[in-house]
Amino acid sequence: MNATFQEIGSCLEEAETFALLSHVRPDGDAIGSQIALGFALEAMGKKVRLINEDGLPDNLAFMAGADRIETPPAEPIGVDVVIALDTATKPRLGDHALAAVANAGRWINIDHHKSNPGYGDLNHIDDSSPATGQILYHLITELGLPMPPETRDAIYVAVSTDTGSFQYAGTTVDTYEMAADLVRRGLEVGRINALTYDNHPMRRVELMRALLNTLEVESEGRVAHWQLTMDTVRSLGLKPEDSEGLIDTIRAIQGVIVALFFEELETGKIRVSMRSKDPRVDACKVCQQFGGGGHSLAAGIRMPGPIEEARRKVLEAVNAEISQIDP
């Protein structure tokens, strides 16, 4: 069962030292959530470390407080509480991050993925929330915790990036009211939006060109997909964050219901990102067939390669779902 904010608040009050973790290949909601809660806790007088398996992506380095994100230390650290944020399953935190906090006394798990099994001692999973950052906004405001500028701005980035800049179906009145409150608290919307969305390296444009050359549309125009191979990653000198959000380009094609991004990883596994524009095609349900998960309209998988075989299997499952709905 979900822990209440009051139960989580009691744990935050009682403990003195914290490690905040988020998932591998972190996005804006993951890093934003760590910064948001981390600085709120520090303003309460707590000692906090912000740890991510892969470290800070370049595209989020503009965030105030981002310099506090560290990769896992080699030796285990002693903290009273570990807080996992925006991470659907414990292994997604990464082996080194898990090893670093192996001696922690208690785990809190705060997330918005419906596939989250509740792996903490205290769990608060709200799959109706469009972002973990929005859950933290309510946690902080309802408990009366401090909201320093770093927390305020990080919440906005977390929610904005996970809602497609307040465009996706999960965006609610509550989301806009939260954003309005953050502006009242001093958020500079124009500056933060420019740094978030209008500040990409040239290699991201080159990546877009390469991806478009692999684009395929099938199932009578209702499924669009493209792929990124390691050869392209190496030739363009890409970083993992360079592909963040690009799937929305093919998701926006008129008539497309499901968009998929297949990506080769250094490990030989294939990362699959899936977006659905129709609730009758549950992306999470499809991804769970291959050990993945996420949300109804946005989910992902990490599965064995080669990429051609992974693509064949996933597309077969997607097309089976598509075939059951009216054109």
- In the chain, % of residues over pLDDT 90: 95
Cβ-Cβ contacts under 8 Å for 188 (sequence gap 6 or more) = none
pLDDT (tens digit, 9 = 90+) per residue, 72-91?
999 999 999 999 999 999 99
Domain 5-197: give its CATH architecture: Alpha-Beta Complex (3.90)
Phi and psi (nearest 5°) for 79? -135, 155
Top-tier CATH class for 202-322: alpha beta
DSSP code per residue over 218-268: ETTTTEEEEEE-HHHHHHHT--GGGGTTTHHHHHTSTT--EEEEEEE-TTS
Query: Do the domains at 5-197 and 202-322 have one common CATH topology?
Result: no
Interatomic CA distance for residues 272 and 284, integer angstroms: 12
Q: Where do we find the tokens 């199932």?
A: 219
pLDDT (tens digit, 9 = 90+) per residue, 116-152?
999 999 999 999 999 999 999 999 999 999 999 999 9
Full-model pTM: 0.89
Strand order across the 298-303 sheet: 216-218, 223-228, 258-264, 270-276, 298-303, 293-294
Residue 83's H or E segment, with its range, is strand 81-85
